Amino acid sequence: MDQRSDTELVRAVRAGDRSAYADLVRRHYKGVFLVCLGVLGNTHDAEDVAQETMIRGYEKIRQLRDAGQFGHWIVRIARNLSINFVRRRAAAERAVGSRPEAPARREGHNDELEEAVARLPHDLRLPLVMYYYDGRSVKTVAERLEISTSGVYGKLRAALRELHDALTARGDAE
């Protein structure tokens, strides 16, 4: 991958170098996708919104004031687009009167756990996904979500507890 800094890559993109943006995608897509997954709860929607986010970032890169803040900026776009998507999806579900079907079960996959994660409220799911799916760094999660590390720990504790309660209740019912 290109060793240039985000600032240099953003300047290159602004000067018309499309390949520089491909390097920014390689560098930041994972963070963007995980934010989308954390808010939306399923990989299919997360892929769509993450792609929309990267395209939006490309279109609006001239509006980024501090080129060195590209990572924070693009994650913020991802979060806003995901929240808007959740609202539109909820409105559509209300209009149709049903929820989308759960994905088919896959061999060797912890579907119960994935479903329980998908049912968490998104303010708990987002830090949980960012922590467990991307290197278990509370500091990174805190920076990306712009909250304190103690705030991240609080969310993770609550998310684990909710997961435990949901999965225990499901086990008891079966």
Partner 1 sequence: MSGPCEAMQERIADYVLGALDEREAEGVQSHLGACEACQKYLRTLTEHSEGLAALGQHIQMDMRAREDKVIEALETMAPGGSQRSCALPWMGRLLRMAVATVLVLGVGITIGRVTAPEPIDVDQLRADLERSVAASLRPAVEERVDARLEAALTDGQADLSATLTAEVREELKVFGAQLMAGSEAMMDRRLDDFLELIEAARLKDRQRVAQAFEQIELNRMRDVRQLGLGLRTLAVQTNDEPTTMPN
Instruction: List contacts with partner 1 (CB under 8 A).
Output: 13-14, 16, 18, 21-22, 25-26, 29-30, 33, 37, 43, 47, 50-51, 54-55, 58-63, 65, 109-110, 113-114, 117, 128-129, 132-134, 136, 138, 153, 156-157, 160-161, 163-164, 167-168
Q: Of 86 and 167, which has the nearer Cβ to partner 1?
A: 167
Q: Of 5 and 92, which has the nearer Cβ to partner 1?
A: 5
Q: Of 48 and 143, which has the nearer Cβ to partner 1?
A: 48
Q: Of 5 and 110, which has the nearer Cβ to partner 1?
A: 110
Tokens of 103: 């994905």
Shortest Cβ distance from residue 43 to partner 1 (Å)? 7
Distance CA 129, CA 126 (A): 5
